[in-house]
Structure 1
Amino acid sequence: MDSLPAEAAPSVKKRTIAAWALWDWGSAAWNAVVTTFVFATFLMSSVFVDPVLVELAKTDAAAEEQVKAVIATHNTWLGWGVAAAGVAIALIAPLLGQRADAAGRRKLWLGVNSFMVFLAIAALYFVTPDTGDLDRMVIIGLIILAFGNIFFELASVNYNAMLNQISTRENRGRISGIGWGAGYLGGIVLLAILLVGFVMIEDTGWFGVTTENGENIRVAMVFAALWWLIFALPVFFAVPEKRSHEKHKTLGVVGSYKKVGRDIARLWRSDRNVLKFLIASAIFRDGLAAVFAFGGLIAAGVFGFSPTLVIVFAIVANVISGISTIAFGFLEDKVGSKAVIVWSLIGMCFAAIMVFALHGQGSVIFWVFGSILCIFVGPVQSASRSTVSQLAKPEMEGELFGLYAMTGRVVSFLAPFLYGVAISIFKSQIYGILGIMVVLLLGLILVAPLNLSPTREQEPA
């Protein structure tokens, strides 16, 4: 492993890096299974539409349009739910990041929030279409998703801040890429297990589950929750707690917010480039989040993918993303994070345009250009994380990642809002792609002029 001179490079064992990366591996339970390819697709499907209307839609065109309208309404609710969770994250993340830095309790907050994600995934078992009020059940599912999103993002603040503890400036890109790539590769394994054991079944699957009332999908959520719990644990044993900085006293809630405000003002005066990157990354990361949130829904709603085919595509997408993210991580250490971010965003915009322009040609278009898009999603995320890590001063890593989360959530309404508006105006789900692409393009325009060179040496171990 390349490193800085011995006096400036932390000595980290490979098993410590592996334990850290396993948290990313386990995160596939939330990122790939819950919010993208399995549960969100299940919740936004015709399973949660009046079964009488669904049956009538098989022979009646007007009823079919009604079913599509109900599903479009549920998609709009999903967009607003994601946006509401984003507001909560924006308010809480910098506060918890600052307090974790000051008190040296990074692992504590990582553990608390990770456990809450586990509870949220397990709770999805109780979201069932076996009810007389399907809209109410959809809302309950969206509330659980919103709370899960909040806790997952808060956990990510402290997890991402650990990157400097296990890397140097010279290998940070590849280690971040290995972690993020592990998330995609974990998604492959988990999705394959769920596909065989729960989703792609006719009568009964593992443990005797059936497809009645979506039992197979709901039990799959319990399996995913256990997956998350098991792989989230190693980081707590392998990575040491970050020591507190004496000059950062633990403040009260009001005092912590005041300090965050002072730090933002200081960055504006003395290190404005950091703030510009936080704003630019907030915008393009919102576009990335929309790709994950709505990609499976577009595959199902526009290109006619069945739930099983959505998961098959998800497995292919994760293979592509996992390999490309790890490869781009090594490339990042050679060419810099900005080059990876800029060219990846250009590739994503191209792929999105082609999916929209050629969607009438059938599902092969989604397979080809959706796969091309997947090449670039992971590298942007990994390079953004390593950029924040290299820009952060030792005493405010958690706080800067908190601001990273906050700025991301301040504009988190943007892509879901434009996705929903485009669908509402044109009455077609395919136009939602344009809303997402506009956000990615805006982020590209803002990040392209920035200088993202490291501003500090790695903190001595």
Structure 2
Amino acid sequence: MIEQPAAAAVPSAARRPNTPQVLAWAAWDWGSAAINAVMTTFVFTVYLTSEAFGETDANSVVLGNALAVAGVAIAVLAPVAGQRSDAGGRRKYWLGVNTVLVTLATAACFFVFPSPEYLLPGVALIALASVFAEFATVNYNAMLPQVSTPRTVGRVSGFGWGMGYLGGIAALALVLVLFVQPAFDWPGASEEGALNLRLVAVFSATWFLVFGLPVLFAVPELPRPAASARPGILASYRRLGRTVAGLARSEPHTLFFLGASAVFRDGLAAVFAFGGVIAAGTFGFALSEVIVFAIAGNVVAAAGAVAGGALDDRVGPKRVIVWSLAGLLATAVGLFLSPGAAGFWVFGLLLCLFVGPAQSSSRAFLARLAKTGREGELFGLYATTGRAVSFLAPTLFAAAIALAAPHVAEGQAQRYGILGIAAVLLAGLLLLLPVRSPAKSDV
């Protein structure tokens, strides 16, 4: 096991969380919402899968495949990237580097013009931004034990997720009144050449950079370990293998949880990644309607995350996750069967309600499993290997659409992507059920 300095990895149970650090840490989540909500969920991917780039079902398949390739890259590269940043005492440094790379890839989407030949560059930039965002999240999630205490980790985790959703509301509201349905006339609202939507990319990059900076100043860097030769890439993979083997021998339920969460968190990510695409392509929402729904959905998701964090401290994280995944599956079936926009509003908001608690309690679950002095390592492993199957949901989403396309009316195949996402959530739930919950004394 990789040893981390105890003081940096986990605060004492007796110490209260540092409020300015918690706020700065959560501000990064607030800022990243511009990438998650605006770019990859409700606005820019809707633009990329619109008729401006060709047939909508085909565009959805291309987007799904691009995100699947990004998931494979994350699975191969992220575990060692996170391990090396922790071992070198450069967690905050790499959080900053990857945050900047996300903003650059996002800003470059300004040059994606509404024409079929720009589809591949557009989805490639979105996929690249998602890879760098995941590398940044590796280090961001690993900071949770630094800014919380064992007794407050659930609430701090829920607060971070809630801030992310609220940041999504604020960013989407500004996008709506500045670019999509401008409240006043200004040059950036022009729809000629989709200028307004391309400027959304510049707005999102700026938003993320501004709100992603405070954590880099407020939270201290990890102490550097004793001087030693830095392992090469192959040695880092061998070290990762030894870590996983050690968990299998001494803490199998921790390893089981890492595997189960890797699957269901991929399904949770897909709910948001393809939610806006389904709203527009299957249920006929205009872009402005997608954004209004997104704002409402983020309000519901924020409430769910905060409430789930409080419930987590009372009943334990496993129950919160199981209840949330069961709710998501029932809601996904209802959404698939819904004939019109009213059904999407009802079942879509229910999906948002259940996603937040599952995400927040998953992070808190691992915090309760971690032993003193090993929290940093386990959070790094969770954040990196948690995306080991990140290609699964995009692949099944795209495959379900491709399989259904020959058998349904044109433009209706996209609906079947919902079943692909539901299959991933079901697999994650089944894998989680045998995992032992943290001891009551740890909750």
Whether the TM-score (by the shorter chain) exceeds 0.5 is: yes
* Separation (CA, whole Å) in 1 of partners of 2:218 and 2:66: 36
* 3-state DSSP of counterpart to 2:117: helix
**Which runs of structure 2 are paired with 1:69-84 in the superposition (5 Å)?**
70-84=55-69
**Which runs of structure 2 are paired with 1:51-200 in the superposition (5 Å)?**
70-129=55-114, 134-200=115-181
Does the CA-based 8 Å contact 1:205-1:216 persist in structure 2?
A: no
Q: Could you tell me which amino acid in structure 2 is paired with residue 147 of structure 1?
A: L
* Separation (CA, whole Å) in 2 of partners of 1:336 and 1:169: 13
**Which of 226, 231, 238 is 2:211 aligned to?**
231
Does the CA-based 8 Å contact 2:266-2:392 persist in structure 1?
A: yes
1:36 corresponding residue in structure 2 = 41
1:3 corresponding residue in structure 2 = none
Does the CA-based 8 Å contact 2:188-2:196 persist in structure 1?
A: no
* 3-state DSSP of counterpart to 2:84: helix
* Separation (CA, whole Å) in 2 of partners of 1:83 and 1:397: 30
Does the CA-based 8 Å contact 2:159-2:306 persist in structure 1?
A: yes
Does the CA-based 8 Å contact 2:91-2:139 persist in structure 1?
A: yes
1:318 aligns with 2:303: no
Does the CA-based 8 Å contact 1:391-1:456 persist in structure 2?
A: no
1:448 corresponding residue in structure 2 = 433
**Structure 1 residue 452, shift from structure 2 partner:** 3.2
**Which of 21, 24, 31 is 2:26 aligned to?**
21
1:48 aligns with 2:53: yes
Quick one: structure 1 residues 394 and 141, their matched pair in 2 at CA, closer, same or farther if it must change by over 3 Å?
A: farther
**Structure 1 residue 385, shift from structure 2 partner:** 1.5
1:58 corresponding residue in structure 2 = none
1:375 corresponding residue in structure 2 = 353
Does the CA-based 8 Å contact 1:355-1:369 persist in structure 2?
A: yes
* Separation (CA, whole Å) in 1 of partners of 2:35 and 2:202: 12
Does the CA-based 8 Å contact 2:103-2:209 persist in structure 1?
A: yes
Q: Could you tell me which amino acid in structure 1 is paired with residue 102 of structure 2?
A: V
Identity %: 52
TM-score when normalising by structure 1: 0.88
Q: Could you tell me which amino acid in structure 2 is paired with residue 48 of structure 1?
A: F
* Separation (CA, whole Å) in 2 of partners of 1:446 and 1:249: 39
* 3-state DSSP of counterpart to 1:409: coil
Does the CA-based 8 Å contact 1:101-1:396 persist in structure 2?
A: no
Quick one: structure 1 residues 143 and 8, their matched pair in 2 at CA, closer, same or farther if it must change by over 3 Å?
A: same
Which segments of 5 or more consecutive residues in structure 1 lack a partner in the other structure? 1-5, 50-69
Does the CA-based 8 Å contact 1:102-1:249 persist in structure 2?
A: no
Quick one: structure 1 residues 377 and 457, their matched pair in 2 at CA, closer, same or farther if it must change by over 3 Å?
A: closer
Does the CA-based 8 Å contact 1:22-1:234 persist in structure 2?
A: yes
Once the two structures are superposed, what CA deviation does each residue of 1:272-328 show, in whole Å capped at 9, x if it has no partner? Answer: 111111111111111112111111111111111000000000000000001111111
1:214 aligns with 2:219: no
1:386 aligns with 2:364: yes
1:430 corresponding residue in structure 2 = 415
* Separation (CA, whole Å) in 1 of partners of 2:360 and 2:366: 10
Q: Could you tell me which amino acid in structure 1 is paired with residue 388 of structure 2?
A: V
Q: Could you tell me which amino acid in structure 2 is paired with residue 278 of structure 1?
A: L
* Separation (CA, whole Å) in 2 of partners of 1:452 and 1:113: 34
